[in-house]
C-alpha cells in the first residue's frame, strides 16, 4: 500500500476524492508561477470562476437598462436578494423565510440585538465567550452602553475551562445556569475563531431558553464549514458573513437568520423601507408594515454588485451538498492532524479539539518556542506559497477548505514545516 504521507499517497487520496472537480471552479492565486497552497478560507475564501459573470451581468444590465434593471429581464434588482434565499437556507439548515442576505455581519448583529436584546429590570445581562471576536465584543458593549447599562455589571464573559483555551459544554451550561435569572441574551459562536472549536448550538439554545434567555449565534466561522441546522437548533437569531467559507468576495453582503417563531414579532426593530412588506412598499406610506420573516429586518435596497458573487458560490455549495463537503472536510483536516502527529509533534501543538465533532476544517497550531519562532515559520511558509494566517502570540491557523483544497496542499504544508525545522 502507498504511504499516505508520500506524494504518491496524497495524489491517490485526491484522485479518490468525489469532489475533486470543484477545485477547477476556483481561481487559485499563484506564487512564483505555482499555485498557492491556500489555507486562508477562514479569512477570505477564493474567487469562484463563476463570480465574474454574475458581476458582469449586473454591470451590463446597468449599462443597457439603467433604472429599468430593477424590474425587467433576468436577475431583476428589486427581488435580487431572493435569488440567494433558497440555496442559502439550504446551507444553514433554515426555512427560506428565516434567512436574508443583507448588510454586513456586525451591522446585522446590531440589528438583531436591537430586537432581541430587550433588558428588563431583572434581566439585563448578555453572556458571551471570553476572547470573543473584537467586533462582536465592541457591538455587545456598545449595545449595553446604548441602553444605559454599565458593561461591568451586564457583560458576562465565560472563561474557557480547558488549558488549551477551549470550553467544555459543562462550563458553558454552568455559566448560563449560574446567571440564569439575570440573563437576557446568550450570544455564542458556532466555531470560535481563535481555537477553531465548534459548539453544539442546539444544546446551547436549549439551555439558554431553559433559563428564559434569548439564544443568538455568530456563525462567521461556521457557515459553509459545518452542516448547520439552524431552524431545528431553535436559535432565535444568527448572523454571519459571506467572505470566509462562502467565497463571496471581500466585504460581501452578509447573512442573517431569524427563527420562524419571530416571523411576525412585535418586538422593536430599526426599520428601513426594504423591510416593508413588498406589495405595498411603493405606496410610500408613512406607516412601516414589516415583511414577515427575516426579510422584515432589511433596511435598504441591497448593493447588487456585492450580492452577485454569492450566487456563484452558492451554486457550488448546491452542487456539492453540505454532507459531502463535510465528509471531505473531516478527511482533509484529519489528514492534516495525522501528518502533524506523525511528523511535526515537536514543532506544532494542535490547539483545536481532537474530536472532529468539535471542530470544522480549521486547525489552530501553536508553534513551539514562542512568538519569534512562530513568526519565522509563518514567514517561511509565505515565501513558499503556503498561505495560512497568524494569530498573536504564537498561533498559525490552517483551514483546508473542502471546496478547493487537496491532500497534496496539506502534504506541501507539512513538508515545508519539516524543511523549516531542519534549516
Ligand X SMILES: *Cc1c(COP(=O)(O)O)cnc(C)c1O
Q: Compute the least distance from the CB of residue 167 to ligand X, in Å.
A: 15
Determine the Cα–Cα distance for residues 68 and 88; give it in Å rounded to an integer: 27
Q: Beta partners for 47?
A: 27
Distance CA 415, CA 347 (A): 12
Residue 138 CB, shortest distance to ligand X, in Å, is: 10
C-beta of 116 vs 193, nearer to ligand X: 193
Nearest residue (CB) to ligand X, 22 versus 101: 101
CB of 254 to ligand X, least distance (A): 6
- Identify which of residues 159 and 277 has a Cβ nearer to ligand X in the complex: 159
User: Secondary structure of the chain: what % helix, strand, coil (to 5)?
Assistant: 45, 15, 40
Q: Rounded to the nearest whole angstrom, what is the least distance from the CB of residue 342 to ligand X in the complex?
A: 31
Smallest distance from the beta carbon of 244 to ligand X, in angstroms? 6
Residue 301 marked ligand-binding: yes
User: Does the annotation place 54 within a ligand binding site?
Assistant: no
Residues engaged in binding ligand X (CB under 6 A): 104-106, 133, 135-136, 189, 193, 218, 220-221, 241, 254
Least distance between ligand X and beta carbon 108 (Å): 8
Q: For residue 11, say whether it is annotated as part of any ligand binding site.
A: no
Q: Do 288 and 318 meet the contact criterion of CB atoms below 8 Å apart?
A: no
Q: Is 77 assigned to a binding site?
A: no
Does 221 count as an annotated binding residue? yes
- The DSSP H or E segment spanning 382 is helix 371-383
Radius of gyration of the chain (CA): 22
Q: Is the peptide bond prior to 363 cis by the omega test (within 30 degrees of 0)? A: no
Q: In this structure, which long-range contacts are made by residues 370-376, counting pairs with CB atoms below 8 Å and at least 24 apart in sequence?
A: 370/394, 376/420
- The answer on whether 134 is annotated among ligand-binding residues is yes
Closest CA to 402 of 310, 308, 334, 309: 334
Alpha-carbon distance 99 to 90, whole Å? 10
- Does residue 42 have a known ligand-binding role? no
| CB closer to ligand X, 103 vs 154 | 103
Q: By C-beta, is 105 or 332 nearer to ligand X?
A: 105
Which residues, including other chains, have CB under 8 Å from residue 266's CB and lie 6 or more apart? none
DSSP-assigned beta bridge partners for residue 349: 366
105 is in an annotated binding site: yes
Q: Shortest gap between Cβ of 421 and ligand X (angstroms)?
A: 31
CA dihedral 123, 178, 157, 94 (to 10 degrees): -70
Report the residue number, 136 or 409, with the smaller CB distance to ligand X.
136
d(CA 6, CA 326): 24
Q: Toward ligand X, which CB reaches closer, 189 or 293? A: 189
- Is there a binding annotation on residue 218? yes
Q: What's the rounded Cα separation, in Å, for the pair 79 and 280?
A: 14
Task: Please enumerate, by residue number, every residue annotated as part of a binding site for pyridoxal 5'-phosphate.
Answer: 105-106, 133-136, 218, 221, 243, 273, 301
Amino acid at each position: 500500500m502507498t504511504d499516505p504521507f508520500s506524494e504518491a499517497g496524497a495524489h491517490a487520496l485526491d484522485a479518490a476524492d468525489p469532489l475533486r472537480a470543484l477545485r477547477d471552479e476556483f481561481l487559485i492565486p499563484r506564487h512564483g508561477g505555482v499555485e498557492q497552497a491556500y489555507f486562508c478560507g477562514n479569512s477570505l475564501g477564493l474567487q469562484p470562476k463563476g463570480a465574474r459573470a454574475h458581476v458582469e451581468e449586473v454591470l451590463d444590465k446597468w449599462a443597457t437598462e439603467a433604472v429599468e434593471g430593477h424590474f425587467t429581464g433576468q436577475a431583476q434588482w428589486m427581488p435580487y436578494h431572493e435569488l440567494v434565499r433558497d440555496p442559502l437556507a439550504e446551507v444553514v439548515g433554515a426555512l427560506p423565510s428565516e434567512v436574508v442576505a443583507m448588510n454586513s455581519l456586525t451591522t446585522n448583529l446590531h440589528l438583531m440585538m436591537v430586537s432581541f436584546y430587550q433588558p428588563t429590570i431583572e434581566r439585563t445581562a448578555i453572556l458571551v465567550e471570553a476572547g470573543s471576536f473584537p467586533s462582536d465584543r465592541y457591538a455587545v458593549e456598545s449595545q449595553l452602553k446604548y441602553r444605559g447599562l454599565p458593561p461591568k455589571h451586564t457583560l458576562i464573559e465565560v472563561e474557557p475551562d480547558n488549558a488549551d483555551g477551549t470550553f467544555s459544554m459543562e462550563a458553558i451550561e454552568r455559566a448560563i445556569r449560574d446567571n440564569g435569572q439575570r440573563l437576557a441574551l446568550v450570544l455564542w459562536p458556532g466555531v470560535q475563531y481563535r481555537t477553531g472549536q465548534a459548539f453544539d448550538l442546539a444544546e446551547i439554545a436549549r439551555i439558554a431558553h431553559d433559563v428564559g434567555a434569548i439564544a443568538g449565534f455568530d456563525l462567521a466561522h461556521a457557515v459553509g464549514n459545518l452542516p448547520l441546522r439552524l431552524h431545528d437548533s431553535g436559535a432565535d437569531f444568527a448572523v454571519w458573513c459571506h467572505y470566509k467559507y462562502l467565497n463571496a468576495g471581500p466585504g460581501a453582503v452578509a447573512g442573517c437568520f431569524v427563527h420562524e417563531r419571530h416571523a411576525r414579532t412585535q418586538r422593536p426593530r430599526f426599520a428601513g423601507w426594504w423591510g416593508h412588506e413588498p406589495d405595498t412598499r411603493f405606496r410610500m406610506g408613512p406607516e412601516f408594515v414589516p415583511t414577515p420573516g427575516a426579510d422584515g429586518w432589511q433596511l435598504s435596497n441591497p448593493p447588487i454588485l456585492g450580492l452577485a458573487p454569492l450566487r456563484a458560490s452558492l451554486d457550488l455549495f448546491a452542487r456539492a451538498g453540505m454532507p459531502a463537503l463535510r465528509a471531505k472536510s473531516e478527511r482533509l483536516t484529519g489528514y492534516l492532524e495525522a501528518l502533524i502527529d506523525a511528523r511535526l509533534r515537536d514543532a506544532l501543538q494542535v490547539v483545536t479539539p481532537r474530536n472532529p465533532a468539535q471542530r470544522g476544517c480549521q486547525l489552530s497550531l501553536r508553534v513551539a518556542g514562542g512568538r519569534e519562532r512562530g513568526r519565522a515559520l509563518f514567514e517561511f511558509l509565505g515565501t513558499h506559497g503556503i498561505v495560512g494566517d497568524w494569530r498573536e502570540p504564537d498561533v498559525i491557523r490552517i483551514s483546508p477548505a473542502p471546496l478547493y483544497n487537496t491532500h497534496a496542499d496539506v502534504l506541501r504544508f507539512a513538508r515545508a514545516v519539516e524543511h523549516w525545522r531542519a534549516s
